[in-house]
Amino acid sequence: MFKAMIKTIKTSLITFWHAFKSGVWLKSPIFWARFMAYAIPIGFLLYVLYMNFLPFGYNKTFTIDVGSENDTKVGEFYLEPSKDLSERETGTDANGKEYTYRELNGVAYAVFKPNAVLKNAEVTVSVEGEGVSIIPPVIDFKPEDVKWDYSWDFTKEIPKDLTGNAFMFDGEATFNGRDTRLELPNSENMFEDGPFTVYAEWTPKDNENNAQQIVGHFNWELWQNKDSVEFRVGRMNDANGNFYSIKYPLKQDFFNGKHFVVMSYNPSANGYIDLYVDGNLAGRTYFGEDKIWKEYGKDNISFGWSKNYNYGKNPRFVGSIYRFSYISKNTVINQSNISFDITEDFFNDIPFVSNSTSTLNKIIINVKQK
């Protein structure tokens, strides 16, 4: 396609030069018709080159004036309608200037659909308002920066404080899907009090079965499914309580490669769970004032299979586990200003959350090609 366009450009330049030298080009309707015929493909080619290869760099800022007439108008950057957003409101600042806003009581999303093909770009997102923060859509998580309560490295040997029959093979802690699992003895009453964050690294190899436990503690589990990675908690509160989960959809090339998760459980008056897979936000699920029911099973924390969950009917995990770390707090904090890098084509919803009924005034995003 590009060779044909380049040939068209050369032809159009030769035609233009001959007509220019003749001196009659200003009064020639035929020339202008031909000029426009060539100018359109030339302009389109330059647009394609700019948007896909950005030879002059890309540095652009988009702003959503929340509550304005066009805040939800679909474009490159817009506010998605949400049941947690109020109708449009207006206020007056200390200088007497009128501004627009919406109240937020829950979660809302700003949608970023850039026309440019962005690769290796830096993104900065900020929000203006009272009591509103950003849930990072991408995190550059460094587990070595966290002082974990518990941490096991499976890359050199099976940790000695774990029992079971997973085995080292080619330098990896291997789970064969038939009879392998590990557990921490006497941990049935651990890993379930209050908030926590889990970091894990693994390679999945079975793309045909669901509910393969990578790690779990009966009332919370990280599962490898054939089409998703799933973090689930429950039952909540009592024997009739709910289950809650987040699923990260995946493609078949996800299997047989190394991945990592960061997942957190955060009970409160408006409790929630988060899941990040390979640094990308899979989602956040809220469960109000519910809490994990600690009497729901007495399993130790385990890797590769929960012998009592679903009466032991779930398939065992097939693959390798490299690391597991646990801390009894949330390590991913919401912020009002975040920056992150993107290295591939980017399309994402950027979530915002309120502490209670809050005001959302502006959402600003800047994208700079490196």
For the segment 263-320, what is each residue's pLDDT rounded down to a tens digit?
999 998 889 999 999 999 998 999 989 999 988 878 899 999 987 666 678 899 999 9
Give the count of domains, the chain. Answer: 3
Residues 63 and 49 in one domain: no
Residues 48 and 105 in one domain: no
Report how far residue 353's alpha carbon sits from residue 145's, in angstroms, rounded to the nearest whole number: 26
Residues 81 and 171 in one domain: no
Q: Please, are residues 194 and 327 in contact by the beta-carbon 8 Å criterion?
A: no
Residues 301 and 356 in one domain: no
Whole-number pLDDT of residue 49: 52
Residue 119, amino acid: K
Helix (H, G, I), strand (E, B) or coil at 154: coil
Residues 69 and 124 in one domain: yes
Residues 162 and 309 in one domain: yes
- Per-residue pLDDT averaged across 244-270, rounded? 94
Residues 308 and 229 in one domain: yes
Report how far residue 299's alpha carbon sits from residue 164's, in angstroms, rounded to the nearest whole number: 14
Residues 88 and 214 in one domain: no
Sign of the alpha-carbon torsion through 34, 36, 42, 45: negative
Number of residues that make up the chain: 370
Residue 97 belongs to domain with CATH number:
2.60.120
Residue 119: give the domain boundaries.
Answer: 59-136+334-369
Q: Please, are residues 363 and 352 in contact by the beta-carbon 8 Å criterion?
A: yes
Residue 240 belongs to domain with CATH number:
2.60.120.200
Report how far residue 64's alpha carbon sits from residue 48's, in angstroms, rounded to the nearest whole number: 26
Residues 261 and 115 in one domain: no
pTM for the full model? 0.78
Residues 208 and 168 in one domain: yes
Residues 32 and 89 in one domain: no
Whole-number pLDDT of residue 320: 97
DSSP labels, 89-151: EEEE-TTS-EEEEEEESSEEEEEE--SS---SEEEEEEEEEEEEEE--SB----GGGS--SEE
- Please check the confidence at residue 174 and state whether its pLDDT lies above 90: yes
pLDDT tens digits along 14-48: 666 666 666 555 556 666 666 666 666 666 655 55
Q: Please, are residues 114 and 367 in contact by the beta-carbon 8 Å criterion?
A: yes
